[in-house]
Amino acid sequence: MALRLPPTIRACLFDLDGVLTNTAEVHAAAWKQTFDGLLRRRAGDGPFVPFDALSDYDEYVDGRPRLEGTRTFLRARGIELPEGTESDPTGTDTVHGLSNEKNELLLTLLRDQGVRTFPGSVRFVEQARAMGLRTAVVSSSANCAQVVAAAGIDGLFDARVDGLVAAARHLAGKPAPDTFLAAAELLAVTPPQAAVFEDALAGVEAGRAGRFGLVVGVDRTGQADALRRHGADVVVADLEELIGPAS
């Protein structure tokens, strides 16, 4: 089997949620419960406009570091909250408090529902490694290592750049290209020699900003046109579409 990639590609950089693991919907559910609680509290006797788990998730939080996702959605709704501190508990109307609440809800949902992979993506990563390509997982999630281990795919990657690594190295989150650039450096390749695989609009923006050799948008929710507008060179419904017979 072969992969439908440019011959110059030597490494593949994969987003986690929505590309490798079927956890984007769990993230969306956790964000919705968190933001809807805040929006109800602030609505009072006025109209309550809930968080949309598709459009709001795609536009404002998907692919971004947790705190930045919180800030971006709040700005979109014209809501100003204090930053607070990392120790703010659930129910505290601060950026940190909401972010902590979302993370607690996410971990509960993952524990209750488990972690499922996309089989086509796993086959693609396995074939990439069989062809001698280097691989990395690049995620804004601070829970990346636990999710990858729970999914049983931690042995498929030569490097991991996640939310914890980004914080330790002071890397800007997606849509900035910094985390992908850091992964390419760990794999000893230049950006033109690496392909980025993303389902998030912010993620494909990061791939384009980093001038990577190929940016593949993975359309799980019917946003193919938006992925192209934000920087995807190629859009597929599943990475298995990029696996072909040997030439």
* Residues carrying an active site annotation: 15, 17
Distance CA 247, CA 236 (A): 21
User: Strand ranges (DSSP E) for the chain?
Assistant: 2-3, 11-14, 134-138, 159-161, 194-198, 214-218, 234-236, 243-244
3-state class (DSSP) for residue 140: coil
Under 8 Å CB-to-CB from 127, ≥6 apart: which residues?
Answer: 1, 2, 3, 243
Distance CA 230, CA 247 (A): 32
Place of tokens 């120790």: 87
Distance CA 213, CA 190 (A): 9
Alpha carbon 215 to its chain centroid, in Å, reads 14
